[in-house]
Amino acid sequence: MRIQQAASQSGISAATIRYYEQIGLLGAVSRTASGYRVFNEHDIRVLVFLRKARDLGFSLDDCRELLGLATASDRHSSAFTKKARRLAAKRLAEIDTQVDELRRKRELVQVHLDVLGDASLDDDCPVTEKI
């Protein structure tokens, strides 16, 4: 299948697919004699994997490592499990940090919302006082 079909099936834009190929994340894609990329089912599975990993916020470097782990011959070993768990735990910690930051921002916006239009308060911004 051609790149537009691969993009449609994987949920990744054609430009991103080209980029993933360029940086070696996707690997070598077969080409026709006229130079068109030809994607097979394995390529689509890799692209879907990459889309899901990126949707979860994994970096391109993490995706590269996860792909390497997923295709390793020892992927059922304890060493594999340890590496995969390390990457997942790292991402979970990053998500927790983002959640904490969003909670802090939410509290500040709520403070601002609560005092908007309250004429009894000083002209100072209550949000900047809380920072």
- 57-105 tens-digit pLDDT: 999 999 999 998 887 777 778 888 899 899 999 999 999 999 999 999 9
Query: Does the domain formed by 1-56 have CATH 1.10.1660.10?
Result: yes
pLDDT band, very low/low/confident/very high, at 127 (cuts 50, 70, 90)? low
The rounded distance, in Å, linking the Cα atoms of 131 and 127 is 7
Phi/psi of residue 87, nearest 5 degrees: -65, -40
Count, residues in the chain:
131
Q: Which residues pair with 31 in a beta bridge?
A: 37
Q: Please compute Rg for the chain using Cα positions.
A: 23
Token digits of residue 48: 């879907």
Give the long-range contacts of residues 67-72, CB within 8 A, separation 24 or more: 67/25
pLDDT > 70? residue 130: no
Does 121 score more than 70 pLDDT?
A: no
124: pLDDT strictly greater than 70: no
